[in-house]
Amino acid sequence: SGSLYVVATPIGNLDDLSPRAARVLAEVALVAAEDTRHSARLLRHLGLHRPLLSLHEHNETARVAQIDARLGAGDDIALISDAGTPLISDPGFVLVRELRARGRRVVPIPGACALVAALSAAGLPTDRFLFEGFLPARGSARRARLEALAEREETLVLYESPHRIRDTLADIGAVLGQRHLVLARELTKAYETFLEGSAESLSIRLAEDPDQARGEFVVMLAGAEPRRGAAMQIDGEALLRALLDEG
Ligand code: SAM
């Protein structure tokens, strides 16, 4: 039977589409895409005219049987989203889970992902990070989520749209105070910018220069400082054990 290829597409710069991704898109029988009009443009740019099938959060479950049947008939299918890696704050999770449960072969074709691109150039610790995707749209729910994350020591990574970036910065400032932030904007595009500072200083920058509030954002926050009390307790225990071992 056929395979589902989960294909990463560019997040801005079309040169970021890998040769392997281009080859897969040229060879599959069908391309399942979040927004078929948007993806038709990408395929045209590649000189391809593959049949497209829409697959978005509202019809994903309904599409599973249809896609599974095509795979069963021997067709290879590609899954793409509007930008970057499918399933990363994009549709595809239900499809991949269901196809795997049915024993189908699911193959990743890796490439651009805003989260990884942003982290790779931000200068924040990357040994451990927490990806939270989009915070809730409503202010109260957003602040509650930030409060729940306040003690996490990993670098925190968020996606944000231009409509909400100012509100999100204001909430980060209100809930987390002077935390160090890096704002990656328009990655791989002409106006790619990295800004850093506190939520408050970044809010001022965006208010002073509204161009800086346009486009797509990855918001990265330094993790919380390790709690001193907790660290001392662990040290105390280790010390006690060491002393007992001596005796
Ligand atoms: N699947 C995509 C990926 O692999 O990164 C993410 C899709 S999500 C619906 C869209 C969000 O990703 C945007 O709101 C923004 O937070 C982030 N994003 C996508 N492209 C970006 C870019 N070129 N620069 C900065 N952020 C970007």
Question: Which pLDDT value is given to residue 241?
Answer: 81
Separation of CA 161 from chain center: 12
> Which value does ipTM take for this structure?
0.99
Ligand 1, atom 20: closest residue by C-alpha? 11
Going from the C-alpha of 11 to that of each of 14, 17, 46, 81, 215, the distances in angstroms are 8, 9, 16, 10, 12
- Please provide the DSSP assignment of 147-169 as one string: HHHTT--SEEEEEE-TTTHHHHH
| Tens-level pLDDT at each residue, the chain (247 residues) | 999 999 999 999 999 999 999 999 999 999 999 999 999 999 999 999 999 999 999 999 999 999 999 999 999 999 999 999 999 999 999 999 999 999 999 999 999 999 999 999 999 999 999 999 999 999 999 999 999 999 999 999 999 999 999 999 999 999 999 999 999 999 999 999 999 999 999 999 999 999 998 999 999 999 999 987 665 556 777 777 888 887 6
Ligand 1 pocket residue status of 132, Cβ below 6 Å: no
What's the CA-to-centroid distance between 215 and ligand 1, angstroms? 10
Length of the chain, in residues: 247
Q: Give the global pTM.
A: 0.91
Ligand 1, atom 11: closest residue by C-alpha? 159
Ligand 1 atom at minimal distance to the Cα of residue 85: 4
Question: Which pLDDT value is given to residue 239?
Answer: 73
